[in-house]
Amino acid sequence: MDKNLVRNFSIIAHIDHGKSTLADRLLEFTGALTEREMQDQFLDKMDLERERGITIKAQSVRLKYKADDGIDYVLNLIDTPGHVDFSYEVSRSLSACEGAILVVDATQGVEAQTLANVYLALENNLEIIPVINKIDLPSAEPERVKKEIEEIIGLPAEDALLISAKEGIGIKELLEEIVKKVPPPSGSVDAPLKALIFDSWYDSYQGVVTLIRVIDGTIKKGMKILFMAVNKVFEVEKLGVFSPFPVEVNELSVGEVGFLITGMKDIKDCRVGDTITGTERKTETPFPGFKIMKPMVFCGLYPTVNDDFEELRDALMKLSLNDSSFVYEPETSLALGFGFRCGFLGLLHMEIIQERLEREYHLDLITTAPTVKYKITLSNGDIIWVDNPNKFPESQHIDKIEEPYIKAHIHTPEAYLGNILTLCQEKRGIQRDIKYITKDRIVVEYELPLNEIVLDFYDRLKSVSKGYASLDYEFLDYKPSDLIKLNILVNGEPVDALSIIVHKDKAYYRGRELVSKLRQLIPKQLFEVVIQAGIGNKIIARESIAPLKKNVLAKCYGGDITRKRKLLEKQKEGKKRMKQVGNVEIPQSAFLAMLKVES
Amino acid sequence: MLNGNYVRKSAEIKNHGQKLRGVYIHIPFCKRRCNYCGFYSNTDTSLIKGYTQALMEEFENKKRQYADFFKAKEATLFIGGGNPALLSLKDLEKILKTIYSSDLAFDEITIEANPDSLGEEKISSYKNLGINRISLGIQSFDDSVLNLLGRNHSSLQALKSLEIVKKHFDNFSVDIIGGIYGEFRNSKVKRDISHDLKFLAKFSPPHISFYLLSIEEGSFFFNKFVIDEAKQAEEYNIFCEFARDKGYTHYEVSNFAKKGYECKHNKIYWEGGEFIGLGPSAVSFLKENKGIKNGWGIRLKNVSDIKEYIKNVNLTEMEYLDRQSAFCEAVFLPLRTSEGLNLSMLKLKFPEETEKIYGVLENLKKAGFVEQKKGQWIIPEKHFIIGNEIVAKILKGAGL
């Protein structure tokens, strides 16, 4: 195929600014999908993605478009994941493109997330086409948003297209703009093969399916190829493109985007960002920017019913087939029995995995509070990494504790600045910068311990800014910190799954808060339940739950029996979903008590 | 006019001594609906004629369909409501004549009645109709309570009717509602039971049903009255103590009787026995009749709407119990009674499930929430009030 007729582009947008709807409209307009095949938000494959309006896995679609100049072009739309946890994946998807459509909501304006992705696009030298969406809404303010794009992002926006993806307004103009403005791929067809991996997943029939962008040369069926970073050789079994349904092709040449199947079984061999080359003629230089993504957030996942352990193991195994950045290993808890310590890129990643386990595998899970990985220097000089509060050494053996910090960029309307500064201060943040990007919008830069972010920072940020502030962050480094382990005791017994690592200055406050939340979350039982928080041997907070006073139906005659039985069965089911710790039944929600925000 | 001789004497029955079976007749008419009542009832008494006819038709149908049930055996009859005293003696006689025509030998025949509908004549006529037990819906001797509950009678009527009933009947029961504590329309409600206890002590009825007020869906109180459960629990204990002191046996969560005066009909429900219910919204439970293949029994529920019922008495919902439901009932029903649960009997029917609950029972026994007396497992009286929690724990233990 003539590379001059190819246009590779992505869509950059904040959650809810209409990326998926726009993608649907493009598919529809170019005839890739008939109306009958049209399911809203076609590119968001998983139910979960559709419901949350977030793209989790990148997709790519080949669209055919006859432009006004009479020429048939091939447009490859490369979808990108839309959340801070997946910024590396986003950067890889973007580097497979020459252009990006920047979608900004005409009612909301530029958000932190958008900005972060625009920067990624600029780093990758992408041609950016600004588009203002939702102009059909009465509250649309296209002129204000244009000004924001110019002032905040520094892009000329005078001629930004005004569209409504929902109503199909401006779609043709946008397609023309893509053909005119996005440069065709560079690269040489004669050079040795160089292809970038920008996504992959596991298919139970085909094995690992890899999405690639050919940078140089040509990849052909039957060819022997080398995955450079993992240094493994595979043979090309199948090549194809999504248009949007998979269509097999015999080769993909410079500038093209498509899928590759090699019979590879282990997704860990297929790293996003890795470069594929031929074994006979190797490229000199792999595509730059390859990184192995390491999990940053950890939690314990336990089946509510111990018998489900094997099922949970199988489900985790299956999910990890599709997700090389998700890790897990077995662990045991005195309170919860057998389970797994799992590592995630971030909180959203964690929530998504949890939800998929519950929804797709029908598992009832108990999740322990998320934690980060601490670097601890012991008094004997050894360095250990701890991702589980229960493995936290006794204080007398600790010489130094370091915790991960992130750099947070928070965009907020001026009105909420005070609240946000207070929140960041409370979360042990170090202020780095505050600047006005427009008359009434501000970017705040803070260095914050990741430990505080994983607890409730995001929810708190949303609540103190009425949802207007947005957050983007990147990992910074490890910094020394004064941390201690806070234990929770139920009827005198420490419950390991409830203990957390907190900063010393906050231990008392957290302890009291946690104990009072647990008091609300644990239902009354046959006995009195005493909940305490302690540091070492010292108790710092205590609450008790009085025993259950009444739980019986007064009347039970012939006509009441079925109703009464159903009630008991419901009550019993409720009990089954609780974890028995000693003789106390603790509901799932209690294990995430510290995440509950007081608004 | 019928007289007591119409009722078969149990001595005439060959298989005397077998498990009792119950017949329940629902009279869905009320002069007004009480504020706490979530049951189906109708205040349009002009429907009584059609209803009586329909009831007799249903009886004949059921007799044909479940012939085994109606073979000569000892049985109980319970006419409940609503307020059955709203039936004219003529209508009642018609109904009873039909019921008595079966081969069942009725040992205990109860009628429920509200104080405002009972005169001396009616009460003595009941006796002639074969009725030998009256359950009187007193609810309270306190006018402010009767008013709050939306009852149609006064404390004076309560006293009067009680005197007459006591004069004519040796076996009778009174219903009392207690535990009236909480918040209703943003104001505190506090109604002490002590006033009622004085009258109960004075009349010394052989049987008392003491119900803690509960807020039912569909009742006037629903979403308006918030109950103070701690106060209810306190009052329940006060009542239990009173009853013990006066020589009553607390034989079921809400039922107290002098020796020999337990309600035989109600015991059928708690022992998992068979019964036929007639009338709108009435429920039947059958286990071993022809045409019932299901080993765990079936439960039938008649249509609730009285007009629908009159149109078609066969509008019935049918529930086939499965093993799990049958087990659940076999555990929770007897645990409501002072007799308790017999594990050896349970094990005959549910060997695996019974095996699984031993552990929980032992643990609960250690903590005093259940007791073991001569092979019977019982919830001690002081823990009746948290019976659901205890039973749910036992059922969870069975791993169902």
* Angle between helix B155-168 and B120-128 (nearest 10): 30
Q: How many CB atoms lie within 10 A of CB A376?
A: 20
Backbone angles phi, psi at B341, to 5 degrees: -105, 130
Predicted confidence band of residue B342 (pLDDT cuts 50, 70, 90): very high
Which residue in chain A has the smallest CA separation from B213? A554
Q: Which of A527, A548, A558 sits opposite B24 (nearest CB)?
A: A558
Six token digits for residue A461: 């940020």
pLDDT exceeds 80 at position A9: yes
Nearest residue of A to residue B177, measured between CA atoms: A554
Among A322-336, A381-395, B174-188, the range scoring the smallest mean pLDDT is A322-336
**pLDDT for res A599:** 38
pLDDT at A184: 96
Secondary structure element (H or E) that encloses residue B135, with its range: strand B133-139
| Best B303, B389, B391 residue to mutate vs chain A (most A CBs within 10 Å) | B389
Q: Average the pLDDT over B273-291 and give the result.
A: 88
Per the model's pLDDT, the better-predicted residue between B5 and A356 turns out to be A356
Query: A308 phi and psi, to 5 degrees?
Result: -85, 5
Q: Which residue of B has its CA nearest to A307?
A: B399
The distance of B255 to chain A (nearest Cα, Å) reads 10
pLDDT for res B293: 64
The answer to whether the beta carbons of residues B113 and B85 sit under 8 Å apart is yes
* Cα–Cα distance, A23 to B331 (Å, whole number): 59
Location of structure tokens 């049903």: B209
Q: Which of B301, B43, B264 is nearest to B171 (CA)?
A: B264
Per-residue pLDDT, averaged over B242-250, amounts to 98
3-state secondary structure of A327: strand
Contact list, A561 vs chain B (CB under 8 Å): 269, 283, 285, 299, 329, 333
Claim: this prediction has a pTM higher than 0.90: no
* Contact status, residue A405 vs residue A296, Cβ threshold 8 Å: no
Show residues of chain B in contact with A549, CB under 8 Å: 229-230, 232-233, 385-386
Closest residue in B to A549 (Cα) is: B230
Residues in A touching B253 (Cβ below 8 Å):
552-554, 556
* DSSP helix, strand, coil percent of chain A (3-state; round to 5): 30, 35, 35
Q: Report the gap between the CA of B269 and the closest CA in chain A (Å).
A: 6
Q: Which pLDDT score is estimated for B52? A: 95
Q: Which 115-134 residues of chain B touch chain A by CB within 8 A?
A: none
Q: Which of B283, B325, B393 sits opposite A565 (nearest CB)?
A: B325
Residues A374-382, mean pLDDT to the nearest whole number: 95
Kindly indicate the confidence band of residue A56, based on its pLDDT and cuts at 50, 70 and 90: very low
Give me the pLDDT at residue B325, please. Answer: 94
ipTM at complex level:
0.92
Q: What is the mean pLDDT of chain A?
A: 88
Which one has a higher pLDDT value, B8 or B309?
B309
Is the pLDDT score of B11 beyond 70? Answer: no
Q: What is the mean pLDDT of chain B?
A: 92
**Confidence label for A474 from pLDDT (cuts 50, 70 and 90):** confident
The pLDDT score that the predictor gives to residue A439 is: 78
3-state secondary structure of A345: coil
CA B69 to chain centre: 20
Q: What's the farthest any 2 CA atoms get from each other in chain A?
A: 88
Residue A434 has pLDDT above 70, yes or no: yes
- Can you say how many angstroms the Cα of residue B346 is from the centroid of all Cα atoms in its chain? 24
Quickly count: other Cβ atoms within 10 Å of residue B198's Cβ: 11
Tell me what the mean pLDDT of segment B144-161 comes to: 95
Say yes or no for a CB contact (<8 Å) between B233 and A562: no
C-alpha–C-alpha distance, residues A107 and B9, integer Å: 86
DSSP A376: E
**How close are the terminal C-alpha atoms of chain A, in Å?**
58
E strand or H helix that includes residue A112: helix A112-123
A360, A353 contact by CB (below 8 A): no
Tens of pLDDT, residue by residue over A116-130, are: 788 888 888 999 999
- Position A304 scores a pLDDT of 86
CB proximity B373 to A under 8 Å: no
Contact across the interface for A562 and B369, Cβ inside 8 Å: no
- Between chain A and chain B, how many beta carbons pairs sit less than 8 Å apart? 107
Name the residue of chain B whose CA is nearest to A306's CA: B399
- The pLDDT assigned to A553 comes to 87
What pLDDT does residue A40 have?
56
Cα-based angle B37, B39, B41 (whole degrees, multiple of 5): 100
Identity of the residue numbered B389 = E
Our CA-based measurement puts residue B151 at a distance from the nearest CA of chain A, in whole angstroms, of 19
Of A32-36, A500-504, B173-177, B205-209, which gets the smallest average pLDDT? A32-36
| pLDDT for residue A76 is more than 90 | yes
Residue B153: pLDDT band with limits 50, 70, 90: very high
Rounded CA-CA distance A142/A165 in Å is 15
Task: Decide if A559 and B281 are in contact by the 8 Å CB cutoff.
Answer: yes
Instruction: Kindly tell me if the per-residue pLDDT of A351 is higher than 90.
Output: no
Beta bridge partners of B76: B22, B108
Is A33's pLDDT higher than 90? no
Across A349-353, average pLDDT? 87
